């Protein structure tokens, strides 16, 4: 049964890493529903957040394959209930709609959005939330003349306690112990 998974891929910031990841997904005919790339809390480590729809078995196979890439440090796979996530959207709406009273302002307020810019030609509305909330606001704004619409990919953090820096410390300790064991055997 296909379901939505969020992959948190921690890697070095090397040219071509995204291409290598997309090749792995393309071979299995898995589409990327959302993608976000940023620095992580660990200096020199970048985070790619991908949302895919596939089976639990297939997502585990994909994660293992991605982890085999040299630049990749660790891949975490999460279901939506294991993470806290948001997207951000910007709506550019014609200011002609402002002539219709405070209806537009009421919609913005009802959706917990905010107005960023107001000019004689347009206004820009920002909404942070889940994809469904953003899509619902888009439907409500369309009658007022949406000139442009842009939405980010998913930004997510885990609910789990063990984070990447703990994993990296454990990995570093394991390598040191292995090196000490080899040195002792010499």
> Does the residue 173 lie in any domain?
no
| Number of compact structural domains in the chain | 2
pTM: 0.78
Lowest mean pLDDT among 93-97, 155-159, 174-178: 174-178
How many angstroms separate the Cα of 124 from the Cα of each of 69, 106, 129, 137? 41, 15, 16, 13
More confident residue, 165 or 30: 30
What integer is the mean pLDDT of 69-88? 91
What integer is the mean pLDDT of 52-73? 94
- pLDDT value at residue 41: 79
Q: Do 97 and 72 share a domain, yes or no?
A: no
pLDDT tens for each residue of 109-164: 999 999 999 888 899 999 999 999 999 999 999 988 899 999 999 998 887 756 66
Domain boundaries, position 118: 84-151
Residue 88 has pLDDT above 90, yes or no: yes
> Does the residue 168 lie in any domain?
no
Residue 101 has pLDDT above 70, yes or no: no
Residues constituting the chain? 186
- pLDDT value at residue 21: 95
Q: Do 14 and 55 share a domain, yes or no?
A: yes
pLDDT tens for each residue of 5-35: 999 999 988 889 999 999 999 999 999 999 9
pLDDT bin (cut points 50, 70, 90) of residue 55 is very high
What integer is the mean pLDDT of 62-82? 92
> Does the residue 185 lie in any domain?
no
Q: Do 72 and 88 share a domain, yes or no?
A: no
């Amino acid at each position: 049964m296909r379901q939505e998974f969020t992959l948190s891929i921690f890697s070095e910031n090397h040219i071509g890493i995204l291409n290598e990841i997309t090749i792995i997904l393309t071979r299995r005919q898995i589409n990327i529903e959302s993608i976000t790339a940023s620095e992580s809390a660990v200096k020199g480590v970048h985070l790619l957040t991908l949302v895919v729809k596939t089976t639990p078995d297939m997502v585990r196979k994909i994660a293992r394959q991605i982890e085999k890439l040299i630049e990749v440090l660790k891949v975490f796979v999460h279901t939506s209930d294991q993470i806290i996530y948001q997207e951000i959207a910007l709506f550019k709406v014609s200011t002609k709609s402002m002539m219709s009273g405070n209806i537009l302002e009421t919609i913005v307020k009802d959706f917990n959005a905010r107005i960023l810019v107001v000019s004689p030609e347009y206004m820009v509305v920002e909404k942070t939330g889940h994809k469904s909330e953003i899509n619902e606001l888009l439907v409500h704004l369309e009658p007022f003349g949406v000139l442009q619409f842009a939405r980010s990919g998913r930004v997510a953090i885990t609910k789990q306690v063990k984070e990447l820096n703990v994993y990296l410390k454990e990995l570093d300790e394991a390598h040191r112990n292995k090196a000490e064991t080899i040195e002792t055997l010499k």
